[in-house]
Amino acid sequence: MLGKKIVVLGTGGTIAGTAMRASDNLGYTAAQRGVGELLAALPDLAQFPLELLSEQVAQIDSKDMDFAVWQHLLHRCAHWLERDEVQGLVLTHGTDTLEETAYFLQSVLAPRKPVVLTGAMRPATSIGADGPQNLLDALTVAAYPGAQGVVVVCAGTIHSARDVQKVHTWRLDAFSSGDAGPLGQVAQGGLYLARNWPQEPVLCTPQAIEKLAAQADWPRVEIVMSHAGANGATVDALVSPEVAQRFGASPVQGLVVAATGNGSLHHELEAALHRAQGCGVRVVRATRCCNGQILPVPDQMIRDSEGLSAVKARVALMLELIARQQALG
């Protein structure tokens, strides 16, 4: 580990947020402090065994995460992961879309080094701020020998990018890995694994990553939900070229439906989704349930998300459409 470095990339979020009062954990403004300032506030950092570098990639509230930031983040992650002296990366990120960014990076990079995302549920100015401990835990994971893949660290728990979901609006332990369970725990500076690090196969070559980082237009993929009283009008409007043209939007190329239960759909919504498929729109079915995944049934005309949540299925479908575009030249 001698001479190894960990690079901390900042993107903003609550962990970098500030409020007027130390007792205010809700009325704060996100993304106010730089990543260097967050690191400087950590206790006993001089005793950390690896050299730390930091870089501010973005400074946003993660509810406003967009493709341009993802592309910049992907480019910087790929840059640092290629360097032999870099042991791993830590990314500070807002919690609202953290699971989407984590899944995107894992899908594209599938890194053999650790890429650890962390955030906070309370701002940096809070009397009970959770960001410093989360950041220290993330550094511990990034420095752990043999660690690899994109993971999320929050409230002492390590989650894989594929399984993690934000499941609570304000609790400090806001994330869950559902039925899969967490990868492990961080406690008192030690790491305790419960299962293996993410080991998905590498799907993107360095050349493909560069092309994705420079992708000008991302395919438009929207999410709809099945519910009582649902009808097909929303799907028909999303698919309509005239509606897209009226609002200056690109045509919808993909739809993810958050279905009820084991993938069941209101019959009117399902009929509209079949019409969308007939127009060439790719459709994927996820479940709106927090736990479990869709078990296949015979003669299913809409493919399922293979256990991905609706927001992650959207990311997967966008990447699939981009790969198809690039293959066609």
The amino acid occupying position 237 is A
Count of residues making up the chain: 329
Q: What is the CATH number of the domain that holds 149?
A: 3.40.50.1170
Based on the domain organization, do 230 and 134 belong to the same domain? no
Q: What is the CATH number of the domain that holds 317?
A: 3.40.50.40
Q: Which of 80, 83, 88, 76 has the alpha carbon at shortest distance from 118? A: 88
Beta partners for residue 118, in sequence order: 92
Q: How many CB atoms lie within 10 A of CB 125?
A: 19
Q: Which residues are catalytic?
A: 14
For residue 38, is it within any domain? yes
Max Cα–Cα distance, the chain, nearest Å: 62
Based on the domain organization, do 169 and 298 belong to the same domain? no
Q: Which of 112, 146, 117, 190 has the alpha carbon at shortest distance from 1? A: 146
Based on the domain organization, do 51 and 169 belong to the same domain? yes
For residue 131, is it within any domain? yes
Helices (H) and strands (E) in the chain, counts: 9, 14
Based on the domain organization, do 48 and 172 belong to the same domain? yes
The amino acid occupying position 125 is T
The DSSP line for 239-276 is H-HHHHHHTTPPPEEEEEEEEBTTTB--HHHHHHHHHH
Tokens representing 259? 């279905």
| CA-derived radius of gyration, the chain | 21
Based on the domain organization, do 48 and 146 belong to the same domain? yes
Q: How many structural domains does the chain have?
A: 2
Based on the domain organization, do 147 and 252 belong to the same domain? no
**C-alpha 280, offset from chain centre:** 28
User: What domain range includes position 294?
Assistant: 219-328
For residue 142, is it within any domain? yes
For residue 276, is it within any domain? yes
Based on the domain organization, do 180 and 230 belong to the same domain? no
Based on the domain organization, do 101 and 246 belong to the same domain? no
For residue 204, is it within any domain? no
Instruction: Give the C-alpha separation, 157 to 35, whole Å.
Output: 22
Based on the domain organization, do 189 and 238 belong to the same domain? no
For residue 161, is it within any domain? yes
For residue 205, is it within any domain? no
Q: Give Cβ neighbours of residue 328 (< 8 Å, ≥ 6 apart).
A: none
Query: Tens of pLDDT along the chain (329 residues)?
Result: 667 999 999 999 999 999 999 999 999 999 999 999 999 999 988 889 999 999 999 999 999 999 999 999 999 999 999 999 999 999 999 999 999 999 999 999 999 999 999 999 999 999 999 999 999 999 999 999 999 999 999 999 999 999 999 999 999 999 999 999 999 999 999 999 999 999 876 667 788 888 888 888 999 999 999 999 999 999 999 999 999 999 999 999 999 999 999 999 999 999 999 999 999 999 999 999 999 999 988 888 999 999 999 999 999 999 999 998 887 76
Based on the domain organization, do 137 and 224 belong to the same domain? no
The Cα angle at residue 309 between residues 154 and 265, in degrees rounded to 5: 150
Contact yes or no for 191/141 (Cβ under 8 A): yes
Instruction: Give the C-alpha separation, 305 to 297, whole Å.
Output: 14
Based on the domain organization, do 46 and 140 belong to the same domain? yes
For residue 198, is it within any domain? no
Tokens representing 209? 């990553």
Instruction: Give the C-alpha separation, 54 to 56, whole Å.
Output: 7
Based on the domain organization, do 142 and 263 belong to the same domain? no
Task: State the pLDDT at residue 8.
Answer: 98
